[in-house]
Structures are given as C-alpha cells and as structure tokens.
Amino acid sequence: MESENAKKHVIIIGGGFAGINAIKVLDKNKFDITLIDRHNFHSFPPLFYQIASSGLDSGSISFPFRREVRHMKHVRFHMGEVKKVDTVAKTVTTQFETVSYDYLIVAAGTTNNFFGMNDLRDKVYTLKSVAEAIRLRNEILDRLERASIATDHERKKQLLSFVVIGAGPTGVEVAGAIGEMKRYIIPREYPELKKEDLKILIVEGTDRVLRTMSEDASRHAYEYLGHLMVDVKLNTTMVGYDNNVVKFADGEEVYCETLIWTAGITGEPIDGFDKSVYARGGRFKVDEYNRVDGYNNIFALGDISYLEAPEYPRGYPQMAQVAIQQARCLAENLNSGKFDKKFKYNDKGSMATVGRNRAVADLHKLHMYGRPAWVTWMFVHLISILGMRNKLTVLINWIWAYCTYSTSLRLLVRPSKYPYRKHWDLAKE
Ligand SMILES: Cc1cc2nc3c(=O)[nH]c(=O)nc-3n(C[C@H](O)[C@H](O)[C@H](O)COP(=O)(O)OP(=O)(O)OC[C@H]3O[C@@H](n4cnc5c(N)ncnc54)[C@H](O)[C@@H]3O)c2cc1C
C-alpha cells in the first residue's frame, strides 16, 4: 500500500522562467520532478534580439537543463515535445514516451500569433526561440553579403528592405539593433554599401511605440529610433504580405523582403484538454493558486496561464517576473499542501533598450532614460541570465561592442540538413 508520506511525482512541461523557478522551490523531500522540454536547454528570450543582430551567440544566453539540475537528485530531465495529456490516466505523452504524474504543471509559454493570417508563418521572421533568432541573424547577414556584391543599385536596396511589425519591446529592440548596424557597421565594414541603402520601418497599430510603458518612455524610444535611422509608422495594422509587398489597413503598400513579426503571441493548445479550460490568447484559465479550471492536480504558470485581477482586467502581463513569481507561489503552496497563499503580482517595472546609451525604464515612480536606463537595463539582464560563464561571456561581448561600435559574431553558419532527422522537424524551427 502506498504510504501517506510517499513522494509525489510532479511533471513540469517547459523549463522557461516559470518551470525552472518552480523546480528551485519545490521541496526535494516531498516531490520527485520530471522536467519535460522540447529543447535540452533553458534560454533567455529578452536577449533573443541580440542573437538576431549578431551581438551575442546563442550559447551565452542558453543553459543546458542537465547542468542546471545536476546536483538535484530528485529532478530528471526528459527531452520531448508534449503532444497529449490524459487527465484521467494522469499521463503526459511526447513523441518519445508516456510518463505518469501525480501533479502536472504546464509552463509551456506561448508561440507566435498571426491573427488568422497563417500564410505568414512561412514568410516572416519571428523571435520566439533561439532557433528563430539564429534564422533571422542568418537572413540579415546573407542579405548584407548579397547586397554588397549586387551590381544594380535598386537591387541592393530591395535586398536591404526591412519592416518590423509591432512596436512593443521586442519590435523596438530588434529595429534599434538593425538601426545600429545601419549607422555604425555598414559604413565601416561594408564599403560596397551606403547606409541609406538599408531601410528599416517599424509599424505599430496604436498611437505610440512601447504602448505598455509610460508616455515619456514611448516618446524617448520614438526619438531614439529616429537617431538610429529607423522609420516609424503608427496607427496602422498590417493586413497582408504578398510578393514582398506589405499591405496596411490605411491602404499604403511598402516593398519589403525581410518582414519581422513581433506583433502577437498565443498559447499552443495541448491535446487532452477541453476547450473550456482555455481563455483568450490560448491561455489556461487558472485561479489565484494557479490551478487550471476544473482540476486540483493540474496547474498552469507564466505566459500560458490566464488570471484576471482588478488592476489587470485582461489578465496578468506575459512577462518574466509574473512567471517567476507565480512559480514560487505555487511551489510554496504545494510544499505546504495548504494552498493558503494567493498569487499577487509584485510589479517591479519594465524597461526596453533601443541601442547603446539609449534605453527607457519605468520603475514604479522612477522613470529613467538614456545612459542611466541603459546601464540599469544591462545590469538587470546580466544578473538574470543563468550561469556564471554566460554572465561573463555576455559582459565581455557588451564591453567589446561598446568599445568597438561593432559586433564580432557576424558568422553566417547554416545548419546542415542531412542526414535528415524527422523528429528534429519541430514546429517552425
Ligand atoms: C523576444 C522576447 C523578448 C522578451 N523580452 C522580455 C523582457 O524584456 N522582459 C520581460 O519581463 N519579458 C520579456 N519577454 C517575455 C518573457 O520571455 C516571458 O514572459 C517568459 O519567458 C515566460 O516564461 P514561461 O516560463 O511562461 O515561458 P517560456 O520562457 O517561453 O518557456 C516555455 C518553455 O516551454 C517549452 N515548451 C513549450 N511547449 C512545449 C511542449 N509542447 N513540450 C515541451 N516543451 C515545451 C519551451 O521550449 C520553453 O523552454 C520576452 C519574450 C520574447 C519572446
């Protein structure tokens, strides 16, 4: 007979900010944990745009799960993409295996949302994973090389036509990074090109960039984008993209060969759950204890969870701090077994960087701009990255880039496709 004190088995789907923080707090004497992730490493999405712009390599913002849990005897890592959950048999199925759980924590994050324009998936560049960031980096480098040897000036400009859809933090950061390449790197390292040959436009559906931040932050970010020769188009949504032409709701059409999509995210449904558990944006409806609607042994954390609060009538923001704080709260409730601690978000503020010495930060009543915000941004990101080696590598790369006005990682390394592995053919990667 199973003892009352037998350890319970927790499966965590996803080792992002939420999954990793739940593992750190769950009591090793009460739980055995299996972490399942489609990748074998934890990554740091806030710096994906720096991979795309060759500022950092993927290894410096990623960390192998097995290394992270090597001293935790109660934790096992299984690589696999979860395809199905059987809530009656209490099992999780990946492409490789089926594993049983007592408690299930879904911390699977989100994917790109194309708002019904599903043909975009094959045409646009996105930044939701390390693989997607590397794909964009390769595209930018490939285009710079091809434009450099193109003999027709019009063709050079076509090759270097970039549009970013969505002026939230990711859009602004990636547009700013390409703007920095245009302003500082092209004139020095691509003698065959003029910086005016590269055109970058960022498009936003509302009336300001960084609309979730303060108006001052939006105004400064708008100015910084101008300094980096990035054009901004506000109050317009994209309605289509065909034959390298972006069509906007206001009727305007813009030629663009590299369309970067940062306009929306959505949860990926997992087979086995009734439609009724999902809220807007494909997120799992949860209560203040992060229990998924209708279950008391299944929880959702982070971006994939949806919980409204008076200050957040459209659900808590999909940000790293929410994921981390929810994970800690749930782990404490599971440890005590009492479920007496309701989740309450402690908003520590938000920040975004547009380029060297150009950042904005809203930290409660403190609003910072320019270099102080930029230094704060670097500090906060540096301490949040997993692993000492990663922190040092990132710091050295940043110091190097600051002193040289350049990025030294502009290597166009294309993956080799053969021998072909069907099970590597994940989602969009
Ligand atoms: C480009 C970018 C920039 C961002 N910048 C910021 C920022 O500056 N500040 C901020 O606060 N937030 C930022 N965010 C948002 C922040 O990254 C998320 O809020 C946070 O990562 C959510 O954590 P999570 O654990 O819920 O999900 P994630 O960190 O997305 O982790 C989900 C994990 O689940 C795994 N997974 C997904 N589906 C499956 C499956 N079916 N089977 C197995 N494994 C699966 C994934 O591989 C991943 O490891 C940014 C996001 C992006 C994409």
String of DSSP letters for 66-125: HHHTTT-TTEEEEE--EEEEETTTTEEEESS-EEE-SEEEE----EE--TT-GGGGGTSB
Kindly state whether residues 243 and 288 are assigned to the same domain: no
Kindly state whether residues 212 and 324 are assigned to the same domain: no
Ligand 1 mean position, distance from CA 240 (Å): 27
Kindly state whether residues 123 and 97 are assigned to the same domain: no
Ligand 1 mean position, distance from CA 47 (Å): 12
Using 70 as the pLDDT threshold, list the residues of the chain that sit under it.
1-4, 425-429
How far is residue 16's CA from residue 417's CA, in Å, rounded to a whole number? 27
Distant-in-sequence, close-in-space partners of 24: CB < 8 Å, separation ≥ 6: 331
Atom of ligand 1 nearest to the CA of 305: 26
Q: Is residue 70 part of a domain?
A: no
Compute φ and ψ for 424, nearest 5 degrees: -85, -10
Write down which residue in 308, 336, 364 finishes a domain: 336
Ligand 1 mean position, distance from CA 110 (Å): 7
Q: Is residue 329 part of a domain?
A: yes
Residue 402 burial (10 A CB sphere; 0-12, 13-18, 19+): exposed
Residues having CB within 6 Å of any atom of ligand 1:
13-19, 36-39, 45-46, 48, 81-82, 107-109, 127-128, 169-170, 302-304, 318-321, 323
Average pLDDT value over all residues in the chain: 94
Ligand 1 mean position, distance from CA 17 (Å): 7
Kindly state whether residues 18 and 164 are assigned to the same domain: no
Residue located via tokens 């300001």? 208
Write down which residue in 301, 336, 371 finishes a domain: 336
Q: Is residue 57 part of a domain?
A: no
Q: Is residue 281 part of a domain?
A: yes
Kindly state whether residues 125 and 147 are assigned to the same domain: yes
**Token couple for 32:** 């055995």
Distant-in-sequence, close-in-space partners of 112: CB < 8 Å, separation ≥ 6: 121, 126, 128, 261, 264, 265, 266, 428
Ligand 1 mean position, distance from CA 326 (Å): 14
**Token couple for 282:** 């494909």
Write down which residue in 336, 365, 389 finishes a domain: 336
Q: How far is CA 289 from the centre of its chain?
A: 25
Ligand 1 mean position, distance from CA 381 (Å): 15
Residue nearest atom 5 in ligand 1 by C-alpha distance:
46
Strand partners, 317: none
Residue-wise pLDDT tens digits, 118-158: 899 999 999 999 999 999 999 999 999 999 999 999 999 99
Tell which one of 11, 17, 126 to mutate to probe ligand 1, the residue whose CB is within 8 A of the most ligand atoms.
17
Using left for φ > 0, alpha for ψ between -120 and 50, and beta otherwise, residue 332 falls in alpha
Residue nearest atom 38 in ligand 1 by C-alpha distance:
108
CATH number for the domain harbouring residue 93: 3.50.50.60
pLDDT value for 4: 62
User: What are the b/e assignments for 180-191, b being 16+ CB within 10 Å?
Assistant: bbbbbbbeeebe
Kindly state whether residues 106 and 163 are assigned to the same domain: no
Q: Is residue 424 part of a domain?
A: no
Q: Which residue range forms the structural domain that includes residue 31? A: 8-38+80-110+267-336
Strand partners, 165: 203, 261
pLDDT value for 429: 47
Residue nearest atom 52 in ligand 1 by C-alpha distance:
45
How far is residue 199's CA from residue 169's CA, in Å, rounded to a whole number? 20
Residue nearest atom 4 in ligand 1 by C-alpha distance:
46
| Residues labelled catalytic | 173
Kindly state whether residues 252 and 296 are assigned to the same domain: no
Q: Is residue 245 part of a domain?
A: yes
Residues present in the chain in total? 429
Q: Taking a C-beta distance cutoff of 8 angstroms, is the pair 353, 376 a contact? A: no
- Total domain count for the chain? 2
Tell which one of 12, 21, 37, 111 to mutate to probe ligand 1, the residue whose CB is within 8 A of the most ligand atoms.
37
Kindly state whether residues 123 and 198 are assigned to the same domain: yes
Atom of ligand 1 nearest to the CA of 322: 19
Q: Which pairs count as long-range contacts for 188-195, CB under 8 Å and 24+ apart, including other chains?
A: 188/405, 188/406, 189/406, 190/144, 190/148, 192/147, 192/148, 192/149, 193/144, 193/147, 193/148, 193/156, 193/160, 195/229
Q: Is residue 417 part of a domain?
A: no
Atom of ligand 1 nearest to the CA of 351: 8
Kindly state whether residues 286 and 382 are assigned to the same domain: no
Kindly state whether residues 229 and 311 are assigned to the same domain: no
Residue nearest atom 41 in ligand 1 by C-alpha distance:
82
Kindly state whether residues 218 and 245 are assigned to the same domain: yes
Residue nearest atom 37 in ligand 1 by C-alpha distance:
108
Q: Is residue 167 part of a domain?
A: yes
Residue-wise pLDDT tens digits, 44-98: 999 999 999 999 999 999 999 999 999 999 999 999 999 999 999 999 999 999 9
Tell which one of 21, 36, 38, 316 to mutate to probe ligand 1, the residue whose CB is within 8 A of the most ligand atoms.
38
Ligand 1 mean position, distance from CA 62 (Å): 12
Tell which one of 13, 78, 130, 213 to mutate to probe ligand 1, the residue whose CB is within 8 A of the most ligand atoms.
13
Q: Taking a C-beta distance cutoff of 8 angstroms, is the pair 298, 270 a contact? A: no
Ligand 1 mean position, distance from CA 106 (Å): 12
CATH number for the domain harbouring residue 360: 3.50.50.100
Strands 231-233 and 238-242: unpaired
Kindly state whether residues 225 and 171 are assigned to the same domain: yes
Residue located via tokens 């059409």? 253
Q: Taking a C-beta distance cutoff of 8 angstroms, is the pair 315, 283 a contact? A: yes
Q: Rounded to whole angstroms, what are the CA distances from 92 to 56, 83, 108, 270, 357?
A: 35, 8, 13, 10, 47
